[in-house]
Structures are given as structure tokens and as C-alpha cells.
Structure 1
């Protein structure tokens, strides 16, 4: 829900349309062909390359870079899409600085890795711009699979199942498919409607139907899906928001960071989006950085990220932290919220300094107040509305290595499932691997039990 300008300090139109357009340009400009060739020449094409091991989807990185080097970007894209059908978005949003590029031999030797992410984007963008799809469907299998959730895991699962000739119905609760790629990624990381364009391109495989406005629980049950379909894949994400557990968090001006990012991503006119004058973000992950930076780009004067532990413990990478700082965001460490002050609406956040004793975080009793007319909660999400009968592990759906749940014929992957990092690329890998297991399951007598 939009934050109205009647709240002190929170208002729209802080910057002109021209200023906003300049602020929300592509974070990294795409490579021109000659730039991609130069970047590809830096690769050592390592045998048993560590960058491949560091990639959750195990893309053959030296091969696709060699293909770019030899002026075959379409072949490079096919190499990428073989493992990661959402390789275009992952090239934009993956924390490559802590994955493939951190493992790059050039990084170890020179402190400057091969720019794998930008090379991946060059290749995938080149092929996608040709408006062709590099995969074809197998002969129809006669099997139907329900995929609940059209985020990265669900889309990757659906595409791989369609390749095997199965018919897939994707049931999505939101108005548009894409999941966090559509609703939860910073606008400057995926410009020009790329998330939607990628989904449209993916669907060209055929055999996939997406139904929006369909929620598990409200519109269908797991039992009904199991009876109607040959298999079910759950990729329902994490819909709940963790509470601050601080006095006054119910005041006006305190809201969920993910919801604000979604509102920004869906806004047709950023001049109409309201933002505070003094913004405080509670959290230390990628979402915290995304909402903080975007608040600054929308015209907030003072933006602070308040994190309860030290810099090294932040789940946002050092690159993301430096990005925030470069945009004028202040980072405060070893502080936790104890109260939001104000007469009905937020005016200040009271933060208590913290210390770690024997690995346990405790408050010191010393506090500081920071002006805040808008406070964003970016302290993680929780699974909401898990169907009965599923075993949970650490608050998520318990799954095996290939995404199988304890229920016959039901798989799960992405943020809702146990075991993996909450990253787009990890979700893609889980959806892909679950699809292969579902295909194997449906190809045996077990699929008809």
C-alpha cells in the first residue's frame, strides 16, 4: 500500500521525472561486442575451473567464455541456458562477487576477476534479442504437473518439464509471474521490464500455462492438486515478514521492505511514489541494501541501514555494502531496534548498541536515537500457509537433494524449501533438479502409484 503524503516527511515528488530516470538507469551498462571480446580474452580457460564449482547451476563458464571469444555469443547463451534457463536475470542479480568471480583464478592472482556476470549477460541478451527459443519440446508425455508459484524455482521447473514433453500449469497468486524477479529485485538491476520479457521468452518452449490470481489454500488445496495432476511442485516463497519486536513498530511509517520494493517495481510513475525524508532500514541483507539505495534514489535526504552485528556478518556482500555507501547510505553496525518513537507516526528509532558474548548477541543498555519518519523492516521472511501434511525443517518445507517432500508426488524448491541459499540462482538450480526427478518419477511405475 502506498505511503500517503499525509504522514510527516513521507511524500511523493521529491525528485523530478528526469532526475528519477537518471537515478534508475541500468546499474551495469551491457558490454558492447568489442568489450565482451576483450573481457573474454582475460579468461585462463582453466581445466576443472573453480568458477564452475562456485556456480550453483554449474554452468560451464570456461566454455561459454571461449564461445564468446570466438564470436559465437549465441552458442555461449545456449551453454548457459542448458544449465540455467533464467541466465539473463541471474547475470544481472547474482552476487557474482561472492560466487563465480570470487573463485576466479584471476581474482586470486590479481584481485580482478574475469567479469563473468557481464559476459553472461552479453551472451544471453544477444540470443534473446533474436526472438528465438533454443529448446524444443519432446513428444507429448500425456502427463500434467502443477507448479505452485511462478518465481525462479517454479519457472525453471516448468521449463525443464515442458522440454521433456509434459504439460505444466503454473498457479501464481500475484497478478504477474516472475516472483522476486518481478517484485523483489531493485529496479536498477533489471531495467526496461526485463523480468517480464524473460518470462515471455521462456514460455516459447510451449506446453506451459500460467494462471495468475490463484493462491494455495484460498483457491485450491494440495490434496485437490494431487488428485488432479500427476505431480506437484511447490515454489511458494516466503510470504510472512519477521517482526521487529520493538515498541511502536505498529506506528504509521513502519512497513515491510519487500512490499515497498514490489510497489516501486510495479509503479508506472516514480514521481508518485512516496518516500521519507529520514529513512531507517533495519536489517543486513540484500533486501536491506536494495530498499536503502532505492530510497536514496527516490530523493530521501538521510538513509541509514541499522544492523545488529558487525560488517563481516552482513549477508549482503561487501560489494553491495560499498554500493550503498557510494549512494550516500549510512551503515550502522552493532545496533538493534528497541523502540519507534512518535505520536502515531514514526519520528525516531531508538537503537541499542549490541555486543557478542560467547557467540550470543546481547544488548549493552546504551542507546542512540536516529531521526526516522519511514522505517523499513528487512529482517527476513517466514514461510506462510504451508499445506498440512508437509514436514518442516527450520521453518521451511523439508526436502531431499532433488526436492522431494515427505508426501508422495510432491516436490518443493526455492525460498520455501530447506537446504539452500535464498538466491535466484539457487532457486533455479532447485527447480531444474526437481524437474529432472519428477520426469524420472513419471517415467517409472512409481508415477502411477
Structure 2
């Protein structure tokens, strides 16, 4: 963020000190025991529950809700964790309104689904606060597995492999584990350092050795890992970011939203964070929404998200879009950036209106400008070089994450076929771990 602090108009301390604590507090208050009972009683406990099918990790949702309803929240958490070891984080950040809750029979009948996400948080928080760990490690197998990337996919794979008795070395490029959960999610969604608390809880299974500040391609290479370990799982996510590709997009005040969110997450005192008065965010996904909302929470007066396609094409959920607008963020759709203007620092962004035609998205020729002293770009991330077959810009995989190289699996954002959700990454890491275990145990 050092490039922004020199730009006139981008300053820290726009709000009164106590306002930062309020703004970055827990977005949704957790349910208490009575509220959880009331919410659980709304579940029909469907025999052919569509919510299970809609969950990427296939949690038995009616079962865990019934366990809450019968005053067994710890048992409910065990049901969740058996399928999704990061169920606590997913309860906070998973777009349940597009997955299990959208499929809920109550949603179809009444327009008000069972609060599955909040119930999941109630259960998982209850168990994680207890001393006992719900899983025991199997007897050591003597087999060793390398897991690259301590994000959702890597953590899920490492835990499942360790549970089966394998020795896991977990390599993480950053100073702290957690991946997207630690560095890439809005601070108000996971306050009180929940990402690190969850990792510490997960690691209590034993059999996992963490090596941080270790990057594939810089500190370790795939050939060495393949030679030293019985199997390798790649879950390092996407390390690079797409550039706007416009002239002058390197002006002061222009930066990628991923690094902004990272920097914000790692700064304890939010009053120290400089923010512009007029902020423009380019993109239509969760990163764009998180950057825009947090800009407002830091005191930016005028924040606009600009997306090149229609609002219905935004990958951010409608709930998140509505949250952004409720915080005062303006949405402009069907417009793409064509120029950055300013003398040294950004002063305006020029956009061209777009339309979808027979040949795809195209500019209409009509342009407009938005004044801005800070611009965040959120137009996707890229995979670094890996010596494996690719499917588009990601690692090609078949089955449960098998890559083009024998003995190497991949999952999460770095692998093709997923939808860039924490819950999907967990499912892919878990399933790859089971496939690796089957191979190591001779069952495959």
C-alpha cells in the first residue's frame, strides 16, 4: 500500500476511532442456544433433502439440524466436520443463499429458507470451543505426502491424509497459513483472527508439519517433491493478478484489490489505513464487493463498482451485491475501462458502455468518466508456471484431482473445473486426499 499513501486525497483516519471497531465487527451476530433451537425447528428434515445435493461438501444438513434441535450441538458439529473440516469458516463465508438455502424447501414454499449457515456456525463454534478434538489419527502408515498451499484445499487434504495416518508436510508461501481465508476475505466476515484459530484447531489432529515462507518454483520444485514423497497435492491457489492492460494503469492510486484486502486483513488498527475520498472498483466478483464495502467502512465518501456485463452476470451473489448497496456502494454495469487519466496520480477513469451481441461483449462507443483518487482492480487472478498440463489457465485434472503427472494431485483455485469457492476447495482437497489414500493403501 505504500504506493497509495503518497497520493493526495488518500489519507488515514477518516473516521472517529471507535467507528472502526463498529464497522469491522462481526457482520452477522451468532445465534444463541435458544435462537438456534427456534431456527432448527423450522427444518422439515426432508427425506430426499435438496440442500445436501446443493452443498459442495455434501454435509448431511437435515441430520445436523436435527441434532441441534435435540440439544446435541457438538454431535451436529461432528456431522459437519466429517464432510467439511473447515465448516466453521464456511458457515461464515459460504454463499449459502446460492447453495443449500436456495435449495431449501422452505425457500421454495415461503421465500424464507432455514438459516442453515447460521446453524452451522452455532454448531461448529460450540465444538471448537471445547477441549476435545472430534477426530483421532489412525496408526502411522509410514507414507509421506507433500501438500503445497495451506489454503482451504491444502488444509482439507492435509487433515484428511493425517487422519488416515500418513505423515504430511504442508508448504505455505506466506508467513501464515489459511490462504484465502487469512488473506483474501473481508475483515468483517471473520473477525477475532478466526482463520488462525481454525487452522490451530485443525492441526491438533497431529501428523502435519507446516513449513511457511516456502514457495513452489522458488524454494521447492515439483521434481524434488515427487522424488522425496509418496504423493504430492497442489493447492496453492492463484498467486498472480490480471492487469487492466490500459495505458497509464500504473499511475499512483491504482492497485489490485487482492493486495488491498490482504493489507487490510493484516493491519490490526484500521484507523491507520489510508483510503481515498472517491474510490472506483473494477470487477464483479466477491473480491470487488469486499474491496468496495471495506472502502466505505474505512470512510471513503464515494465508492463505485463498475462491471463490464449485466448485474445478473456478476459472480458475487445477489445478497453480497445488496449488502454493498446498503453500505452506500453504487453499482454501474455494462461498462468497461478504456483509459486512466491523471497527472502522476489517478484523477479519473474513463469507461465505455458495453453490450452483448452475437460475437460476444463489445463496446458501444459511448463513454463516460468517473472521478477517482483511488482505483482497485478485481478482474481475476492467474496461476504461476507449473510443469503440468493445463486446461485453459489452470491445472488440468481428472477424477478426484489427478493431474497429468502420476503421483501428483491438484485442487482448489489452481485446478480447472471449480467455482472458486472456499467450500468447493475444501471438497476438492478432501476428495483428492481420499484418492491419494486409496493409492497409498493399495486399494486403487
TM class, shorter-length? over 0.9
Name the SS of the counterpart of 2:11 in structure 1.
coil
Match of 1:416? 414
CA distance in 1: counterparts of 2:147 and 2:350, whole angstroms: 44
Residue 188 of structure 1 aligns to a residue whose secondary structure is: helix
- How far residue 245 of structure 1 moved from its aligned partner, in angstroms, is 2.2
* Structure 2 equivalent of residue 371 of structure 1: 371
Structure 1 residue runs of 5 or longer lacking an equivalent are none
The question of whether the paired residues in 1 share the 8 Å contact of 2:78 and 2:134 is answered with yes
Q: Which moved further from structure 2: 231-240 or 241-250?
A: 241-250
CA apart distance, 1:4: 4.3
**Does residue 241 in structure 1 map to residue 234 in structure 2?**
no
Q: CA deviation at 1:14?
A: 1.0
8 Å Cα contact 1:2/1:263 also seen in 2? no
Is the 1:293–1:329 contact (alpha carbons within 8 Å) kept by the matching residues of 2? yes
The change in CA–CA distance for 1:358 and 1:90 in structure 2 (over 3 A counts) is same
Alignment partner of 1:443 out of 427, 441, 444: 441
Indicate the residue corresponding to 1:105 in structure 2.
105
What are the superposed Cα offsets for residues 171-218 of structure 1, whole Å, 9 maximum, x if unpaired? 000000000000000001101000000000000000001110001111
Give the corresponding residue for 1:70. 70
Distance between the aligned counterparts of 2:62 and 2:435, measured in 1? 28
Match of 1:399 in 2: 397
Comparing 437-446 with 205-214, which one deviates more in the overlay?
Answer: 437-446
117-126 or 7-16: which moved more? 7-16
Deviations along 1:323-358, one digit per CA (max 9) or x if unpaired, are: 000000000011100011001110110011111112
CA distance in 2, matches of 1:378, 1:338: 15
CA contact (8 A) 2:400 2:431 kept: yes
RMSD value, Cα = 1.0
Which runs of 5 or more structure 2 residues have no equivalent in the other structure?
Answer: none
- Match of 1:385? 385
User: Would you say the 8 A contact 2:10–2:374 is kept in 1?
Assistant: yes
C-alpha separation between the residues in 1 aligned to 2:151 and 2:324? 26
Q: Which whole-Å deviations, capped at 9, do the CAs of 1:414-443 have from their partners, x for residues lacking one?
A: 000011110000000000000000001111
Stretch moving more, 159-168 or 126-135: 126-135
Instruction: Report how far residue 385 of structure 1 moved.
Output: 2.6
CA contact (8 A) 1:131 1:201 kept: no
Shift of 1:248: 1.6
Question: What is the aligned length?
Answer: 444
1:153/1:414 contact within 8 Å kept: yes
Post-superposition offset of 1:3: 4.3
Instruction: Look up the match of 2:195.
Output: 195
Give me the whole-angstrom Cα distance separating, in 2, the residues matched to 1:341 and 1:426.
Answer: 40
TM-score normalized with structure 2 length: 0.99
Task: Name 1:323's counterpart in structure 2.
Answer: 323
Q: Which residue of 1 aligns with 2:299?
A: 299
Which residue of structure 2 aligns with residue 335 of structure 1? 335
- Contact 2:249/2:340 (8 A) holds in 1: yes
* Per-residue Cα deviation, 1:20-77 (whole angstroms, up to 9, x for no partner): 1011111110000000000000000001100000000000000000000000000000
C-alpha distance in 2, partners of 1:426/1:133?
Answer: 24
Aligned residue runs from structure 1 range 199-348, under 5 A: 199-348=199-348
Partner of 1:172: 172
Contact 1:391 1:397 in 2 (8 A): yes
SS in 1 for 2:204: helix
Distance of 2:68 and 2:344 partners within structure 1: 58
Q: 1:425 and 2:423 equivalent?
A: yes
Q: Map 1:116-195 onto structure 2 (within 5 A).
A: 116-195=116-195
For residues 2 and 131 of structure 1, do their structure 2 counterparts lie closer, same or farther at Cα, with a shift above 3 Å needed? farther
Distance 2:238 2:87 in 1: 23
| Residues 269-278 or 156-165, more deviating | 269-278
Q: Displacement, 1:269?
A: 1.2
TM value normalised by structure 1: 0.98
